[in-house]
Structure 1
Amino acid sequence: MASQVIEDVPDEKMGPMNLHNDTANASPPKTDIKQQVDLEKSVNPPPPTSGPPPPPDGGLVAWLQVAAGFMLFFNTWGMISAFSVFQTYYESGELFEASSANISWIGSIQCFLLQITGLVAGPLYDRGYLRLLLVTGSFMVVFGHMMLSLCTEYWQALLAQAFCVGIGAGLLFVPIVSLIPTWFSTRIGLAVGIASSGSSLGGVIYSIVIYRLILQIGFPWAVRCVGFIALATFMVPLAVLRMRVRVPKPRAVVDWSAFRDAPFMVFTLGVLICFIGQTALIFYISFYPLDRGFTGTSLAFYSAAIFNAGSVLGRILPNALSDRIGVFNTMAPFTMLLGITMLSLLGVRNEAGMIVEAVVTGFFSGVVVALPPVCFRALTENKSMIGTRIGQGFAIGGFGLLAGGPGAGAVLGTTDPLDWTGLWIYGGVAACLAGLIYSFVRIMRSGFALNIKA
């Protein structure tokens, strides 16, 4: 073998003709180079490229997704935030006769369906049907308001406003809170907060539009104008919303391991209880000063707009703060303060006190909608299951929205004088209890140390 190798090597003592031999000086054949490269690749394989790239955490396209989310919140939670105007109008009996508890079922079912529909919308979103969800949800929201404008009886309003609008909103809500985190990493709280502030602006605009137009052109055309505003603003998400990452395998409707995740389930219980208190506030913030005679009819309707105006900053500033100090360090104390300010409504005696309470309770209530998606993300170790956990958590929390309104109406009663003391204790204690539960979740995750970002 050694002699064979030596014979293949050119002899330095050979003549000049051999030194300039083409074969000796020729470059190695291309096939040999290719084999060598293949060998190196097999020994040192390139890093895998199948995983998605990191989020851009900014840029024009990413912030356009936030703008689209703003418009979707505007037409989902924004309409729910304006329900107190509908509640006050329905209480007048001009459209139909129903008790406070029965009227509350309209808003409660609308809220509940917004949450529970996410169990269907989430898997459809994972399969890439974002456009279908946007078109279907937008159509149902607009169509529901057009049908509401034709209603003259309670059951008709229940079908149009509660079921049609509620399901349509549900097809839009969970996809957007699942999509925005895929575009951001260190500024998720701020991005979700800005998007969710659309619900506050929607509550302001829709409250004013409904009240003013009912006086000028009547209830049917006032509701149709709401539908036209929704139709116009839905054009933004339809034009710019896009998926950056599609999961490799569609997620399950239910993540059964979540039921064995103690912090996740305890936090979800807190969301459910908090929504009970939140619903009482959203539904009755306008009717309370009108029934007690603290304000005139005009300012009573505008209380909902003032409440939602205060909520704008309550959705942005606490979320931005949570990026610095931690989501649970923000969520727990702000929810406690919401409960305390709701109990403070018992001390209101005039217009000035009502305006202050509307602003303050609006600010603290903004946390309740804006921060839970960020908290659910923090509680999900397997990030591929974020959409499932968010949809599942909000679906369970939605039962609080379903029970909160009718429960508040039952506490309020049907005979004069209405039990406003019982109502605000009902809502305030629920929010305070939710704040304590969030504090417990924070302790479960990070202990009692105060200087930990949690």
Structure 2
Amino acid sequence: MATQGFTAPIDSESKDLENNSDKATESLDNHNDEEKFEHDHPEEAAAEAEAQPKGPPPGGPPGGPPPNGGLQAWLQVLGSWCLFFNTWGLLNTFGVYQTYYASGAIFTASSSNISWIGSVQALALLLTGAFVGPVFDRGYFRYLLVGGGFLVVFGHMMLSLCHSLWQAVLAQGFCVGIGAGMLFVPAVAIMPTYFTTNLGLAIGIAASGSSMGGIIYPIMFYKLIPEVGFPWAVRILGFTVLATILVPITVMKMRVKPAKIRALFDPSAFTDGPYIWCVLTCTIGYIGLYVGIFYLSFFGQSTGTTDESLSFYLVPILNAASVLGRTVPNWISDKIGPLNVITPGALLMGVILLCNLGVHTSGGLIATVFFFGLFSGIFIALPPVLFVVLTKNKAVVGTRIGMGFAIMGCGVLIGGPAAGGILQHSANHQNWTGVWLLGGLCPLAAAVSFVLLRGKVGGFRPMVKV
């Protein structure tokens, strides 16, 4: 019995040695054939070598598993922080631009038309991000950093020369938006190659750059305008982008290309009922989300609820509150499930926006801005977590996230211009009741839809993690 127990491994080992010997001989023969081909056909061999993919090797990282710490790994977090600072941080600043443009200092346009600038900017970021994923997977990481950084800086320089709405749409909407989309995906995608056990912490620290950008850039803009004027204020913001973008270009390094390049489009997504349901629900919620982001600052100034100074500071207050809304709910969702967190978040966001119907003091507006920032952070941070949870085939998660955000961009495109159009439908162009009804009812409708989705996925029992 004992002898028989060891016979199989020994025989198996002998067969493995024979197989390895055969493979080694075959590999040597192939190597000799390759050398002969290169000697006899140098032009074809050079062309074939040029066609081989460049960049980090696919599969596992050359230096072993992710380090989960150390100087090089935390430098990637610093670089990603700067990328978030100059992507979503810039987009979160648009509320102050909406207020300033509406004053007529640069050009004359309706609130609805002005909001197209911010809507196009956000949509360009989301759509570009969906296309950038496969480019990143092919190893063109540094090209994305340099190209995206150039477009964001160039867009600011061109914006400083603008004197009409269409020029601002091209410079701030398309140019800055596309550049930000090229930077956003690398900021997230680089993290899993350096962290596994500390991944949540690393991404959370990096993502805080978006809120910090939404605090610093509006204050810079407001303080610089009276000192140097709009053109130089925007140029100084552009130089700030340039200085902070040089950090990731200098310190960030791609360790490894993904073993499989993600697809741009997953047709099976449209047959996945819960996933599509979730995407459409988030799109409806995004309509209300961007009504608040674009118009809370302008609401304070145009109604006289706040003075000019405080109206500009409402945007930093909103983004400071969103720091908690973008981090703590993700941690809670690990405990009780993302649907159980985003559903009350959407409900409370809608209620807060409706509360603006009764706001007539600066203190009341500051309170609604703060709580909107807090609960809107939930709606910004959790959709990608939901997409991961609702996608059974994890091999297509990256594609599903890109598709989801591309569709949700339609909500961004609808929210700002629709609210601006409603605002104009009154004798004095102050139909704020209609604006806040649109902004509040869309998240409430999303909350109801999330409840129904939760029932379909995990039932209606209150203590189920979904």
Same fold (TM over 0.5): yes
What does residue range 174-253 of structure 1 map to in structure 2 within 5 Å? 174-181=185-192, 183-184=194-195, 190-253=201-264
Q: Contact 2:289/2:443 (CA < 8 Å) preserved in 1?
A: yes
Q: Contact 1:145/1:226 (CA < 8 Å) preserved in 2?
A: yes
> TM-score normalized by structure 2?
0.83
Is 1:295 the counterpart of 2:306? The answer is yes
Distance change >3 Å, CA 367–CA 57, structure 1 → 2: farther
Q: Contact 1:177/1:373 (CA < 8 Å) preserved in 2?
A: no
Residue aligning to 1:416: 428
Residue correspondences, number: 416
Q: Contact 1:148/1:223 (CA < 8 Å) preserved in 2?
A: yes
Residue aligning to 1:346: 357
Residue aligning to 1:443: 455
List runs of 5+ in structure 1 lacking aligned partners.
Answer: 1-33, 45-49
Residue aligning to 2:444: 432
Q: Contact 2:59/2:256 (CA < 8 Å) preserved in 1?
A: no
Match of 2:149 among 129, 132, 138: 138
Cα distance in 2 for partners of 1:398, 1:333 equals 22
Bigger shift: residues 310-319 or 55-64: 55-64
Task: Report percent identity of matched pairs.
Answer: 51
Q: Contact 1:178/1:387 (CA < 8 Å) preserved in 2?
A: no
Cα deviation, residue 58, structure 1: 3.7
Q: Contact 1:190/1:320 (CA < 8 Å) preserved in 2?
A: no
Distance change >3 Å, CA 260–CA 225, structure 1 → 2: same
Bigger shift: residues 209-218 or 50-59: 50-59
List runs of 5+ in structure 2 lacking aligned partners.
Answer: 1-9, 21-57
Q: Contact 1:192/1:370 (CA < 8 Å) preserved in 2?
A: no
Residue aligning to 2:410: 399
Q: Contact 2:93/2:315 (CA < 8 Å) preserved in 1?
A: yes
Cα distance in 2 for partners of 1:245, 1:449 equals 44
Match of 1:126 among 131, 134, 137: 137
Residue aligning to 2:180: 169
Root mean square deviation of aligned Cα: 2.5
Cα deviation, residue 62, structure 1: 4.5
Cα distance in 1 for partners of 2:67, 2:440 equals 37
Q: Contact 2:128/2:182 (CA < 8 Å) preserved in 1?
A: yes
Cα distance in 1 for partners of 2:434, 2:65 equals 48
Larger Rg: 1
Cα distance in 2 for partners of 1:380, 1:68 equals 30
Distance change >3 Å, CA 344–CA 82, structure 1 → 2: same
Cα distance in 2 for partners of 1:73, 1:338 equals 23
Cα deviation, residue 309, structure 1: 1.1
Residue aligning to 1:17: none
Distance change >3 Å, CA 280–CA 447, structure 1 → 2: same
Q: Which amino acid aligns with 1:241?
A: M
Cα deviation, residue 41, structure 1: 5.9
Q: Which amino acid aligns with 1:441?
A: L
The Cα offsets for residues 281-340 of structure 1, whole Å up to 9 and x where unpaired, read as 111111101111111110011111111111111111112222222222212211211111
Match of 2:376 among 346, 349, 365: 365
Cα deviation, residue 91, structure 1: 0.4
Match of 1:39 among 9, 12, 15: 15
